[in-house]
Amino acid sequence: MGKPTGFMEYKREVATETTPLQRIGHWKEFATPLADEKLQTQGARCMDCGIPFCHTGKLISGMAAGCPVNNLIPEWNDLVYRGLWREALDRLHKTNNFPEFTGRVCPAPCEGSCTVGLKDSPVAIKSIEKAIIDKGFAEGWIKPQPPEIRTGKKVAVVGSGPSGLAAAAQLNKAGHWVTVFERADRIGGLLMYGIPNMKLDKKYVQRRVDLLEAEGITFITNAHVGVNYPIEKLQEEFDAIVLCGGATKGRDLMIEGRELKGIHLAMEFLGKNTKSLLDSEHADGAYISAEGKDVIVIGGGDTGTDCVGTSLRHKAKSVTQFEIMPKAPDTRQANNPWPEWPKVHKVDYGQQEAAALQGADPRQYLINTKKFVGDENGNLKELHTVLIEWQKNEKGQFVPVEVPGSEKVYPAQLVLVAMGFTGPEHTVLDQLGVERDERSNAKAEYGRFATNQPGVFAAGDMRRGQSLVVWAINEGRAAAREVDRYLMGASNLP
């Protein structure tokens, strides 16, 4: 695909970004797209490799390798190279309902499995994907396409994150009447309130929601199923139910001083910030402000990075990020071969911004928080830490061992716990009588997505646990196919 010798002739190039010190002054996206001609050149770098792992979407060593929605990457790379953008859009939409989301927030496991990346920089797949969908909207190629025939079947989708929206979109295409229930005041779930605006501008989420609504999907907000919307009503009115409520129970840090004021789970901090931004440009003050504070972010990953970037935009006094794991190597190691996801050190947007403002990467590695300490009014004032080493115990398991004499006290008036998630909330699952697996997720076999309750299905993080947006879309699409088969006896959905 692409130009046969393109990977030898052209170097990787991606969108330029405004400088960190410029962009921390606003909440807008900060990447400037490449011109069409440069994107065509990037498409030309796609090899006719014969083994395109980029679109395989497999779990290797517990991590995604290739695209989980099986995007037809070599095909639309070639079409972009030849200037056939409309055709590239059609190929992209065959596998991915929401490339405007994945093109912005996906960590691009496809690029980690790109054959060119074996010896050179991988093809700029994510940049090309985003360009295709953005051009599709800009040119007016993307219009509502409601189904011509309705089946009369009604399906309830609980949760409007990426898995819920994908399931709804596919079920609507099959001709079913779909209603999506969302407990928040806006549709989008994680896409709306879990990812900051500078990473995914909410106008793009709302644009897609408006399109789905024009295609016949009904959205109901402020509907917390099992709390202010009875489960019984859902069971009476719908022929099938798809549970896509996500894995929203944050992993907490229950150590001494946890009750102090100024300690928050990351999603509480991020969600309130985005809501206040959308409601009033922060004029209502209904958010957790980092302004003028020493901020400690406990945990790495995308959520930790988002907490760093958000705190800097609040004009925090300082931002430090703790990671209990060691710093990743700069290059692939022998035990991390292609096409596995490359477990290498990376500097994301939040760390770039902190380094530009504070003079150094904010991350401290191999560090463990021992206790929080407050003032006489119950407000957090500092936390106590110790460095650790990972050593094998008598069972051969790696465990953290404290380094003697490495204790340190950090000033902090705001701590954001970004240690991941432990699973879904159980309100809906308990009321429906849905069985859970050993990790407390809804028990439903991948590929079938059916729970132990007839007509009740589960998909996305609520079924698989915390994962990527692209896996959620994969599951929402696949679950829709199984729901369609349950309702109709067969399914033509992809």
For 95, the domain range is 6-138
Query: CA 140 to CA 471: how far, in whole Å?
Result: 28
Q: For 187-241, how does the pLDDT look when each residue is reduced to its tens digit (9 = 90+)?
A: 999 999 999 999 999 999 999 999 999 999 999 999 999 999 999 999 999 999 9
What's the pLDDT score for residue 12? 97
What's the pLDDT score for residue 480? 98
Q: Is residue 120 located within the same domain as residue 14?
A: yes
Q: Which of 375, 402, 419 is the C-terminal boundary of a domain?
A: 419
- Which of 20-24, 63-67, 164-168, 399-403 has the weakest average pLDDT? 63-67
Q: Is residue 149 part of a domain?
A: no
Confidence of residue 74 (pLDDT cuts 50, 70, 90): very high
Q: Is residue 143 part of a domain?
A: no
Contacts of 89 (CB under 8 A, 6+ apart): 132, 133, 135, 136, 141, 142
pLDDT, average across residues 288-300? 97
Q: For 247-291, how does the pLDDT look when each residue is reduced to its tens digit (9 = 90+)?
A: 999 999 999 999 999 999 999 999 999 999 999 999 999 999 999
pLDDT, average across residues 112-131? 95
Q: Is residue 293 located within the same domain as residue 426?
A: no
**Can you give the CATH number for the domain in which 369 is found?**
3.50.50.60
pLDDT, average across residues 373-378? 98
What's the pLDDT score for residue 3? 85
pLDDT, average across residues 405-432? 97
pLDDT, average across residues 299-325? 97
Collapsed DSSP state (helix, strand, coil) of residue 174: coil
Q: Is residue 75 located within the same domain as residue 130?
A: yes
Q: For 468-480, how does the pLDDT look when each residue is reduced to its tens digit (9 = 90+)?
A: 999 999 999 999 9
Looking at the DSSP bridge assignments, the partners of residue 318 are: 294
Query: CA 437 to CA 428: how far, in whole Å?
Result: 15
Q: Is residue 403 located within the same domain as residue 291?
A: yes
Q: Is residue 392 part of a domain?
A: yes
Q: Which of 138, 163, 193 is the C-terminal boundary of a domain?
A: 138
What's the pLDDT score for residue 54? 95
Q: Which of 398, 419, 440 is the C-terminal boundary of a domain?
A: 419
Token couple for 389: 């080493």
Closest of 164, 278, 287, 271 to residue 217, by C-alpha:
164
Whether the per-residue pLDDT at 4 is higher than 90: the answer is no
Q: Is residue 145 part of a domain?
A: no
Whether the per-residue pLDDT at 340 is higher than 70: the answer is yes
Q: Is residue 392 located within the same domain as residue 461?
A: no
Q: Is residue 338 located within the same domain as residue 376?
A: yes
What's the pLDDT score for residue 50? 84
What's the pLDDT score for residue 205? 98
Terminal Cα distance for the chain, rounded: 24
Whether the per-residue pLDDT at 2 is higher than 80: the answer is no
Whether the per-residue pLDDT at 10 is higher than 70: the answer is yes
Q: Is residue 429 located within the same domain as residue 414?
A: no
Whether the per-residue pLDDT at 106 is higher than 70: the answer is yes
What's the pLDDT score for residue 271? 98
Q: For 446-462, how does the pLDDT look when each residue is reduced to its tens digit (9 = 90+)?
A: 999 999 999 999 999 99
What's the pLDDT score for residue 160? 98
Answer yes or no: are the C-beta atoms of 349 and 305 closer than 8 Å.
yes
Q: Is residue 493 part of a domain?
A: no
Answer yes or no: are the C-beta atoms of 416 and 307 closer than 8 Å.
yes
Closest of 491, 441, 480 to residue 461, by C-alpha:
441
Confidence of residue 51 (pLDDT cuts 50, 70, 90): confident
pLDDT above 90 as % of the chain: 95
What's the pLDDT score for residue 241? 98
Q: Is residue 148 part of a domain?
A: no
Residue indicated by tokens 């290797």: 60
Query: CA 465 to CA 115: how far, in whole Å?
Result: 30
What's the pLDDT score for residue 1? 61
Q: For 379-408, how does the pLDDT look when each residue is reduced to its tens digit (9 = 90+)?
A: 999 999 999 999 999 999 999 999 999 999
Q: Is residue 30 part of a domain?
A: yes
Q: Is residue 170 located within the same domain as residue 69?
A: no
Query: CA 315 to CA 308: how far, in whole Å?
Result: 11
pLDDT above 70 as % of the chain: 100
**Can you give the CATH number for the domain in which 86 is found?**
1.10.1060.10
**CA angle (420, 423, 425) in 5-degree steps:** 120
Residue indicated by tokens 């609507």: 172
pLDDT, average across residues 293-302? 96
What's the pLDDT score for residue 63? 87
Q: Is residue 147 part of a domain?
A: no
Q: Is residue 65 located within the same domain as residue 167?
A: no
Q: Is residue 121 located within the same domain as residue 213?
A: no
257: left (phi over 0), alpha (psi -120 to 50) or beta: left
Q: Is residue 319 located within the same domain as residue 308?
A: yes
Please tell me the total count of domains within the chain.
Answer: 3
Q: Is residue 413 located within the same domain as residue 269?
A: yes
- For residues 48 and 159, the model is more confident at 159
pLDDT, average across residues 18-46? 96
pLDDT, the chain, mean: 96
